[in-house]
Amino acid sequence: MPVVAPHDDTIAPSGKFSQMLNKISGQPESYARKSAYTFGKTLGAGSFGVVRQARNNTTKEEVAIKIMLKSTLNGNEQLVYDELSFLTQLKHPHIVGFRDWFESKSKFYVVTQLATGGELFDRIVDLGHFTERDASLVIYQVAEALEYLHGQNIVHRDVKPENILYLNHEQESPIVLADFGIAKRLRSSDDLIHTSAGSFGYAAPEVLKGLGHGKLCDVWSLGVITYTLLCGYSPFRSENIPDFLAEVKHNNAVIFHEKYWKHISEDARRFIVNLLDVEPTERPSIEQVLQDKWLTNIAAEHHDVDLLPSIRAGFNAKSKFKQAIELVMLQNRIKRLQELDDDDSDDTDFEDVGSSSSTGLSGWGALSSALKKTQSTGSSSSTSSEKKSSDAISALQQLVKTATQNKERVLNHVEE
């Protein structure tokens, strides 16, 4: 059942009229609140729905709206209510702020603060200078957010760079932790969760084994982020779950390659190894993480050496190649959501993602254009199966071309 009652006192007169129309059309009463927002571009898409940028027409605040199709939840609407329960209760400077929620017959809409400063790694590689001290400031803020969550027996379970955002474009912008879609509240401090969830590459071994996990899975994720933040690449080589579990089995998988780590302190390395202990009970709690001497004072002494050249070498090429593939997946997700959306309203909640000129990826515009061709419906008289097949091949060829153009930068990342 809903966890937040609609705030009728904030509905404008036009909203009152919308409420009346909604009653006639069978829409839930809270759906009238949708008219309070002007929707903008699509920011991302997942299995359940999309995230759109929007503006509150009254306050003029720019916000993010997660739109989820109820039909994709397969009867698990409680997941949405759980997330709403978390968001409405959480108030912390390093956790994205909740604003509102409403629903239609077929969708949920969750409105949150919009972090406009960009994702963690994208922002960092665009900086002119980044040091070990700067990295420690980022990690400290994320750790503060996790301390707040763990203090309420909430496990985030999806701590990764894409969910760590800069609030704005200012140089001293704070960091905020976002996306509580798979977060869980424990019944007690030492309770364990037995359903696997998270993102491969950042999820802890105990999560992937399905043997039960708790707060310390977030500490593992923070360790992976710290390692990657300091050198630009992941501490692990494996590309699938069985190989990863085999790699970390003996607790000696973390290697600090001299080429990329020669200017980074021993205390930073010790900090990372402690967080990436394969045995959860041997990891420090998030409270102990915040008291670690690397975070409290040692990192502050390492503010002279610029780590950006090696970070870019390790991160930039791989991430841009990944973006090309993710664009294909993103467009496919949105297309599927459009097909599943049986709402009889004339909304455009699931709009296609436009091309981006700011990615810096060679061939991106052409790839986006080719992809759009594969999704163009056109008129039945002018669109044949051969034409669709040709367009699909064109998109694939463009993806291969994009990958080839970036191949050398990927191959140049040799982990010595």
Residue list, annotated binding site for ATP = 66
User: Can you tell me the distance from the alpha carbon of 79 to that of 68, in angstroms, rounded to the nearest whole number?
Assistant: 11
**Helix or strand (DSSP H, E) at 38:** strand 37-45
Amino acid letter, 335: K
DSSP, res 263: T
Say if CB 166 and CB 118 are below 8 A apart: yes
Instruction: Kindly write down the DSSP assignment for every residue of 248-305, as one continuous string.
Output: HTTS------HHHHTTS-HHHHHHHHHHT-SSGGGSPPHHHHHT-HIIIIIGGG--SS
158 is catalytic: yes
If you count them, how many residues does the chain have?
416
Q: CB atoms < 10 A from the CB of 396, how many? A: 14
Annotated binding-site members: 66
Alpha-helical (H) ranges within 152-236 are 205-209, 216-231
Vertex 57 angle, CA 54 and 61, to 5°:
60
The torsion angles phi and psi of 118, rounded to 5 degrees, stand at 100, 165
> DSSP letter at 362?
T
Residue 252 exposure: Cα atoms within 13 Å on the Cβ side: 1
3-class secondary-structure state, position 393:
helix
Decide if 198 contacts 207 (C-beta within 8 A).
yes
Let me know the angle formed at the C-alpha of 63 by 37 and 157, rounded to the nearest 5 degrees: 130
Catalytic one among 158, 218, 349, 391? Answer: 158
Q: For residues 37 and 15, what is the distance between their CA atoms, to the nearest angstrom?
A: 11
d(Cα 48, Cα 53) in Å, to the nearest integer? 17
266-275 and 216-231 helices, crossing angle to 10° = 150
Let me know: does 363 contact 402? Beta carbons within 8 Å. Answer: yes
Are 96 and 176 in contact, with CB atoms under 8 Å apart?
yes
Would you name the residues annotated as active-site residues?
A: 158
